[in-house]
Amino acid sequence: MNSSPPAQPGVQPDIQPDAEVAARLRVALGRLNRQLLQRQSDASFAQLSALFVIEKWGPIRIGDLAQREKVAAPSMTRTLNGLVAAGWVQREPDPEDGRSFMVTLTPAGEALIAKVRRERTAALVQGMERLAPAQLAALNAAVPVLEQLADEVEPKGR
């Protein structure tokens, strides 16, 4: 009895995951990610990371933000103080707990996130413009697969 999944159109059924390919992919994606993260920005890495989490999950309590960022609450408080001082986030009273507050993006914070995304996308486009047409076609075909792979590798519960 064959327990393998049915072959998908255009996929060769005898191809199996390869540790060497996975390692090369990990290194290439890591390098690409570091290069994008190191691009000049008005905010630090910790600040941008917090802004992206606030954008996705906000309004959010500082404790929940610290937990999502995997940092101690005092570290997150320092990061948030810088974000508030820069005008990128604001604190609002927590409607469920008068001793706590919620953090939300300001229009300036939303604009910073949009600017960072535009600049990082432009950097990728610039690199892509130097690829040969066949390489660009391969990259275009790989994107949906990489998106699915990201879903498969993402830790559960996030």
Q: Give start and end residues of each alpha helix (H) in the chain.
A: 19-37, 45-57, 62-69, 73-86, 107-128, 133-153
The angle that helices 107-128 and 45-57 make with each other, rounded to 10 degrees, is 110
- Name the architecture of domain 42-153: Orthogonal Bundle (1.10)
pLDDT one-digit tens code per residue, 66-112: 999 999 999 999 999 999 999 999 999 988 887 888 999 999 999 99
pLDDT one-digit tens code per residue, 8-61: 666 566 777 788 989 999 999 999 999 988 887 789 889 999 999 999 998 999
pLDDT at 121 over 50: yes
Domain ranges in the chain?
42-153
